[in-house]
Amino acid sequence: MQTQVVIIGGGPAGLLLSQMLHLRGVDSIVLELRSRTYVLQRIRAGFLEWGSVEILREAGVGERLDREGFFHDGSMIVWAGARQCLIDTRKYAGRQMVAYGQTNITEDLYAVRDAMGGTIIDEALDVAPHAVDTDRPWVSFVKDGLEQRIDCDFIAGCDGSYGVSRKAIPAAVLRTYEKVYPFGWLGIMSETPPLEDIIYANHPRGFALASQRNPRLSRYYIQCDRDTDIADWPDDRFWPELKARFPRSIADEITTGPSIEKSIAPLRSFVAEPMSYGRLYLAGDAAHIVPPTGAKGLNLAISDVYYLSRALSSFYNDSDIAGLESYSQTALKRVWGAVRISWYLTNLLHRFPNQGEFDLRMQENELEYLAKSEAAMRNLAEQYIGMPL
Ligand code: RFL
Ligand code: PHB
């Protein structure tokens, strides 16, 4: 086979890239390890920056999002049992956040790629990029037991944190940065009406988050130990623990019900530099991971794809290589900003092992400062909504 761009990984980054390239007249083939059913059942992100909403609209997948997305003026933070403040992105940054599940975005992207005749090869095994430091890279894989080869001009590594693309960058070139947090998030999805707001709670029992997917679907998280066994957390243990971490007035509003999904995500920050090598370009989780506290992971995947699709389109349509040459640098500037705000919010809202009285006072004072200072809140709001592309 032959194409212009082989995209390894059919998560949101890979699917969106293939769609945006198609709209600019560039051909691609997406190679996805898993089945479609598996990809669509994976429950992950749910909160979009305004910039991401605009990119999705431009890519032709904004229709259901506009209809079913839950538009918010910002998110609440609660602490000390009764204190609260709103990260008011509408007031301070002039833009709203939108709750709309990653699962829905992936579904919308599959639908639009299918409608436009896009090629997505799922259950592609042993995918391997080759000759990435030459002008004629190629990718091998196995489908239905048969070894296959695709020759291409470029390879986009959109295969998430544990994919194969990043490994194709030689160790001598690649620099990685990692911070592992000493806890995870235990998340559940339940078919119950959510709270009106997205609410982050700092509590002596640990962090908690109330979120949502649609008027009948709630998403809740609680901070847990890294080695937590999910079997130890039946619903009748989860709900009281969740409620105990919110102020009484909010806890009383939470509608409980059977969970339809439950999973644990360890929290870490990770950045790989550079995000390109030869004719290989990384986008999304393949290049970076942020703890979910700032809701930045999916948004970063979308902004990477925005830059990369434009760079590839300039190469093909205007014979301009400047975008490709500066892709890594441009994307990384935004990545580090998101890594920092995610780290800041993670530190602000979680309980850490061995956290002393001093550290707790620092957290509390920072929260009080956010609640009373417009300047502090404006600063947080502009980062939470996402810096302009
Ligand atoms: P994905 O979604 O991991 O997709 C990568 C795809 O590549 C495939 N793959 C391979 N394909 C071929 N060959 C191989 N060798 C392959 N290896 C892997 C995989 O099967 C998969 O389909 O990465 P992508 O596209 O970069 O998208 C990134 C987002 O998924 C991720 O950043 C977010 O989900 C993070 N995240 C959040 N981000 C937000 O912006 N807002 C949020 O509210 C938010 N909440 C979250 C989150 C992540 C969470 N977890 C589970 C860590 C909440 C949680 C709990
Ligand atoms: C989610 O709805 O899954 C969600 C919302 C906000 C976050 C992280 C996750 O910061």
pLDDT of residue 210: 98
CA atoms within 13 A on the CB side of 223: 25
Q: Is 72 an active-site residue?
A: yes
SS3 (DSSP) at 225: coil
Confidence (pTM): 0.97
If you ran DSSP here, which 8-state letter would residue 252 be given? T
Q: Are 207 and 83 in contact (CB under 8 A)?
A: no
**292 catalytic per annotation:** yes
pLDDT single digits (tens) 66-85: 999 999 999 999 999 899 99
**Per-residue confidence (pLDDT) for residue 364, from 0 to 100:** 97
Active site residue 333: no
Give the pLDDT of residue 44. 85
- Which atom of ligand 2 is nearest to 292's Cα? 8
Mean pLDDT (the chain, rounded): 97
**Cα(166) to centroid(ligand 2), Å:** 26
Q: How confident is the model at residue 182 (pLDDT cuts 50, 70, 90)?
A: very high
Residues 209-240 pLDDT 10s: 999 999 999 999 999 999 999 999 999 999 99
Buried b / exposed e over 292-310, threshold 16 CB at 10 Å, is: bbbbbbbbbbbbbbbbbbb
Q: Is 384 noted as a catalytic residue in this protein?
A: yes
- Which is the closest atom of ligand 1 to the Cα of 283? 26
Candidate from 48, 52, 198, 262 with most ligand 2 atoms within 8 A of CB, to mutate: 198
Structure tokens of 28? Answer: 């691609």
Q: Residue 373 C-alpha to ligand 1 middle, in angstroms?
A: 35
Q: What is the average pLDDT across 101-120?
A: 96
Q: Active-site residue among 92, 110, 200, 221?
A: 200
> Is residue 78 classed as helix, strand or coil in its secondary structure?
strand
Could you tell me how many helices (H) and strands (E) the chain has, helices first?
12, 20
- What residue ranges of the chain are covered by domains with CATH 3.50.50.60? 5-69+99-178+268-346
Q: Shortest CA distance to 322 belongs to which of 331, 332, 312, 333?
A: 312
Could you read off the pLDDT of 274-309 as tens digits, one per residue?
Answer: 999 999 999 999 999 999 999 999 999 999 999 999
Q: Which among 333, 347, 237 is positioned nearest to 291, based on CA atoms?
A: 347
pLDDT tens-place string over residues 249-265: 999 999 999 999 999 99
Q: Which ligand is nearest to the CA of 74?
A: 2
Q: How many CB atoms lie within 10 A of CB 212?
A: 25
CATH class of the region 181-267+356-385: alpha beta
List CB contacts of 319: < 8 A, sequence separation 6 or more: none
Considering only CA atoms, which of 294, 274, 299 is closest in space to residue 284? 299
Q: Where do we find the tokens 């890294």?
A: 226
φ/ψ of 47, rounded to 5, equals -130, 120
Q: Which residues of the chain form CATH 3.30.9.10?
A: 181-267+356-385
Q: How confident is the model at residue 183 (pLDDT cuts 50, 70, 90)?
A: very high
Please pick, among 291, 296, 307, 350, the residue that the annotation labels catalytic. 296
Decide if pLDDT at 43 tops 90. Answer: no
Q: Whose CA is nearest to atom 3 of ligand 1?
A: 160
**Which residue's C-alpha comes closest to atom 17 of ligand 1?**
163
- Residue whose Cα lies nearest atom 4 of ligand 2: it is 46
Taking 90 as the threshold, does the pLDDT of residue 45 lie above it? no
Backbone φ, ψ for residue 376 (5° rounding): -65, -45
pLDDT at 280: 98
Checking if the pLDDT of 386 tops 90, the result is: yes
Backbone angles phi, psi at 139, to 5 degrees: -130, 135
Q: Give the residue, out of 70, 159, 218, with the most ligand 1 atoms within 8 A of its beta carbon, to mutate for a pocket test.
A: 159
pLDDT exceeds 90 at position 92: yes
Taking CA atoms, 128 is separated from 137, 154, 167, in Å, by: 11, 13, 10
130 catalytic? Reply is: no
Helices (H), 209-321: 235-244, 248-251, 297-318
pLDDT band with cut points at 50, 70 and 90 for residue 46: confident
- The CATH H-level (homologous superfamily) assignment of domain 5-69+99-178+268-346 is FAD/NAD(P)-binding domain (3.50.50.60)
Q: Ligand 1 pocket: which of 30, 35, 44, 342 to mutate (most atoms <8 Å of CB)?
A: 44
